[in-house]
Amino acid sequence: MLYAIETSGITKHFNEITAVNNISISVKPGELFGLLGPNGAGKTTLINMLSTMTEPSGGSAKVWGFDVQRQAGSVRQNIGMVFQGTTLDDRLTGRENLDLHGRLYGLDSKTRKNRINEVLSLVELTDRADAIVKTYSGGMMRRLEIARGLMHHPHVLFLDEPTLGLDPQTRLHIWEYIKTLNKEEGVTIMLTTHYMEEADHLCNRIAIIDHGEIVALDTPEALKNSLGGDVITLGLENPDDITRLCEAYQKNGCANIVSRKMNEVFITVKEGERQIPHVLALASKAGIPIQSVSLRKPTLDDVFIHHTGRAIRDKEVTEVEKVEYKLRSRRK
């Protein structure tokens, strides 16, 4: 088997909506592969087809060498799944949740006992294993779900938005577990996220997805380098000047890429430090007042903006997401 996950033109329609459109990707065993995209991009739908939760409308896919449609049972034996919303039973203890999962997978009592202790220790929940899940924090629940996904030694683990709605500190914590289990347990991981820092920090390779299609696919470094230099951000006094300024830069060929967001213009140039005076001089010549200027290395958000003309979304966890996550956690 060459690939842990291999899709060929996989497609999913929901009536008139095309949620996933003709996606072909290959993920090698041991890779930590990310699907990065905004809300509604089709990430969950893709992962649901790969984990046999949803039937594809077209194309095909193999997971660990098994066809997701014709050999769904074998696919399920070889995968672990952590869903976007929590599916724990919060009236049971952490240990009971894991035991239930082990029983569903037909593990005998001794194997279950040993494996439960192993996975609890991996996500550092041994101390809280016998407490009712209702008393867990959001981060602890997420860790328990990851542990549960690992109970039956899957070869491939799907993580759908593993840190959605968690605070930045807890998110860092979960990143470390994900890295550890990819390295130490050798699990191939496919995760979805709309946090670009998460994809950047964790993944060997990333497919950027928008409207059900892959817009770019490579290592995080290569994606960022593809923009060809440093990013100069110019804040404009008057947002109405944006189009004129972009045109001025494009006409002068001073930048590889020019993009925009709200009242800011992003210019990607080689040797940014040297180019700032030239960039400012061009704005001044065009009679456009500049309020602020900064220089930085490109981010995956810049890559996304370059390909789609939009930003992925706000970088930090919003209060709305926190509330959504809590509500989902309580809904049974």
Ligand X SMILES: Nc1ncnc2c1ncn2[C@@H]1O[C@H](COP(=O)(O)OP(=O)(O)OP(=O)(O)O)[C@@H](O)[C@H]1O
Residue 39 interacts, among Mg ion, ligand X, none and using kind-specific CB cut-offs from 5 to 8 Å, with ligand X
Measured from the CB atom, the residue of 44 and 308 that comes closer to Mg ion is 44
* Binds ligand X by CB under 6 A, chosen from 45, 51, 78, 188: 45
Q: How far is the CB of 171 from ligand X (least distance, A)?
A: 16
Measured from the CB atom, the residue of 53 and 100 that comes closer to ligand X is 53
Residue 263 interacts, among ligand X, Mg ion, none and using kind-specific CB cut-offs from 5 to 8 Å, with none
Residue 150 interacts, among Mg ion, ligand X, none and using kind-specific CB cut-offs from 5 to 8 Å, with none
Lookup result for tokens 């440093």? 230
170: DSSP letter: H
Measured from the CB atom, the residue of 14 and 291 that comes closer to Mg ion is 14
Site string for ligand X, 230-269 (x = CB under 6 A): ----------------------------------------
Residue 317: CB partners within 8 Å, gap ≥ 6? 165, 166, 167, 168, 171
The footprint of ligand X on residues 13-42 (CB under 6 A) is 14, 17, 19, 37, 39-42
Q: How far is the CB of 239 from ligand X (least distance, A)?
A: 28
Please give the angle made by the CA atoms of 90, 156 and 41, to the nearest 5 degrees: 75
Tell me how many residues contact Mg ion (CB under 5 A): 3
Question: Strand 205-210 relative to strand 32-36: parallel, antiparallel, unpaired?
Answer: parallel
Number of Cβ within 10 Å of residue 238's Cβ equals 12
Residues 20 and 49: beta-carbon distance below 8 Å: yes
- Lookup: tokens for 22: 């003709």
Site string for Mg ion, 76-95 (x = CB under 5 A): --------x-----------
> Edge-to-edge strands of the sheet including 79-82?
79-82, 156-160, 188-193, 32-36, 205-210, 213-218
Q: How far is the CB of 209 from ligand X (least distance, A)?
A: 7
DSSP element (H, E) containing 118: helix 109-122
The answer to the question of residue 44 lying near Mg ion (CB under 5 A) is: yes
Q: How far is the CB of 212 from Mg ion (least distance, A)?
A: 12
Dist CA 285 CA 289 (whole Å) = 10
The answer to the question of residue 52 lying near Mg ion (CB under 5 A) is: no
Dist CA 230 CA 182 (whole Å) = 32
Give the residues lining the site for Mg ion (CB under 5 A): 43-44, 84
Binding residues for ligand X, rule: CB under 6 A, are 14, 17, 19, 37, 39-45, 84, 194
